[in-house]
Every structure is written in C-alpha cells, then in structure tokens.
Structure 1
Amino acid sequence: MDKLVEEYKGDLKELKKLHKKILTKRYQAPVRDKAGKQVVNKKGDKVFRLVDDRTPQDIADQKTIAEAISTTEYALFWLETGREKPFDEEQAQKIPKHRRMISVADIEQMSYQVYLQNVEEPVERMSEEKREMLLQVTEIESLLSGKELELFHLINQELLTYGEAASRMGIAVGTVKSMSQRIKNKIEKYFEYGHQIQLF
C-alpha cells in the first residue's frame, strides 16, 4: 500500500508541474499608454488585459490534466485515510446538505469550470448561454489583480482549500481568506440585480 501511495504522489507532482506550465501561458498583462505608463481607471486601480498564449492543444491538455489531478488527489486521500476528501468548514456550509455526501470528483462545478471545459469549442457552435458565460468570466478576470487571479484559479480550477492555496502561493491562510473576500466583493459589484457567483 505504501508503495502505491508513493507512486500516486509522484504522479500527482508531475501532473501539477505540467498543469502549471500550461497555466502560465494565460495571464494578465498591464495596459499601457503611448508613453509606456500603466493605465489606471478612475478609482486609481491599475488596468490589466487578459493574455492567452495557449494553443488549442494546450487547452485540451489542460482539461485532461486538471481532471487527472482531481482524480489522483481524491484517490490518494482515500488510500491514506480510507475516507472521502472533506471540505473546509466554510466550504461545507455553502454546499447544500444533499450534495455534501457526493464524491469530490463528481461535485458539480461552478460556471468557471464549465467555461474551462468548453473554452476550446468554436464560438459559433456555443449556445447563447455559453457565450455569455465566456464573456462574463473574461470580464471578471480582468477585474482581478495578478495575485487575485492566481488565487481564483487555484480555488476554482484546481479546487484547492484555503490552506493548500496559501501554501502554494507562499502566504498566510488569513491573507488568502481576505483576498477571497475581495474577489467576491468585486464579482458582486460586477453583477447587477444581486446576481452573484458563489466562489467560496
């Protein structure tokens, strides 16, 4: 059993390296004026634009690798503890009771995961709902700072807990929680009529 666990850990480490390599091709770059100075909005916040240098193959690989990471992490946790992977208390409180017993690998993801799974689909073949979702996610990401965008990906794409995200980013869990709240506040302001995405 110990040998199998070590094999899973090795596989997981390699999968995360591959995933991170692709993820770095999608980032925010500062918007600059003709003089080369970074543009700021009326509130004094720096303006960024989303840059996506991924190829169609990168996008397909990212989806496959992300699914493999999720499955491997779940299998590894089960091998080590014999139990399903638990959620943080705050995460669990935001999941309906009838869904809390579902395997972590099968839990329905928020719009962001749906977007990631369908982003390689030609725009003309997307439903109106998917096109609107794509636009919303792109606009939302443009509102986030570099660190906020990184956390947004870690929580919603890689499905990390606050503690795991804090460790990955090299910051305190408290900082992750406050940053998560800032992200949520920005998204709440983005949507009109009280429409919100539940991120955390």
Structure 2
Amino acid sequence: MIEPQHAQQIRQAQAGLINLVVQATQNPETRRELEPVLNQAHEAGWGELILRIRRVLEGERDTSLLQGLDDEDTVILTAILAGLQDPSTLPNPEQSGDPAQAAPGLAQMIHGAAHGDAQSLHWLSQMAEQMSRAGGDMARLGGITKRLVDGERDPDVLCRGMDAQGESLVLSILSELGKLEHH
C-alpha cells in the first residue's frame, strides 16, 4: 500500500498527464495532443499503464482497469477515473506540492531512481522540471536531484545558496533517504 503523501506527490507530478487524458476523453483535438505523450510514456516503460489509459480513452470506466497495476500506476489511473467522475478532484498542473510534505515522497523517488527504477526516475525528472519553473529554492532543489540520485549526501554541498526553508526540506529529504538506505 502506498503512503498518502507519496500518492499525492505522484498525482501532482503527473497532473499534466492526468488532466490531458481526462480532456482527451471529451475532445478529439486534445486526443491528438495526447498521442505523442502516450507514445513517449510507452517507450519509457509505462506500457501497461498506457494500455489501460487507451482503454479509458475508448470508453471503459470500470475499476477492474486497476487490477494488476503497480502502486504508482494505480494512483495515476485512479486519479484519471476520479477526474472523469468529478473534475474537481483533478490535480492542478500549475500547483507545486507542499514542500513540508514533499520529503518522504521525494526521498522514495530518489531512492527508487538510484536503484534503477525507471518510473521513479521519470517522475523525479518531471518534478525537477516543475521545480525549476517555480524558481528560488524549489529550482535549486530541482537542480540537485541528479546529485541526490547519484549518492551525494553532504548537506553543505546540497544546501548551497538555499534559505532556511530550502535547507530544511533538503535535510528532511536526507533524513528520509537515510531511513530508506538502512532498510
């Protein structure tokens, strides 16, 4: 079972995809815009999720679509299905996540990416891109994600140029990574 904070991080990281799929079910123009995204995601190793998304695009709405998916894919497809039922549940693609709640989810993605999980690496790169657009400490955090994946754990190096809130977030991520690496 995936932790609620991690699930929220996944929904937020994939907000663009989730919203685009929901829009594409109602608008053929958006479907054309979505196709290259689906093809790229399929090539990146998201084959099973993309097959299920295509079934949603063809009109299927049954929760049996979730059977057999891993936790992360389940979060994404559940958000799509919920968004079709109630658009107010869709994640806002313009919103960045709450930094105070981000550490456990980011640490899990960094840990997964460092251990060869392609989906974690993809989500982390998506989040880093969003962070870079946010500016300030979030942009700096987006800039150090590769260092974290590569194993850098020196807070002085990682926190360079950040204010107290940014440093606090990086230290929280390092603490969470420490817990994950000792399991």
Q: TM-score, normalised by structure 1?
A: 0.27
Larger CA Rg, structure 1 vs 2: 1
Return the structure number with greater helix share: 2
Return the structure number with greater strand share: 1
Q: TM-score, normalised by structure 2?
A: 0.29
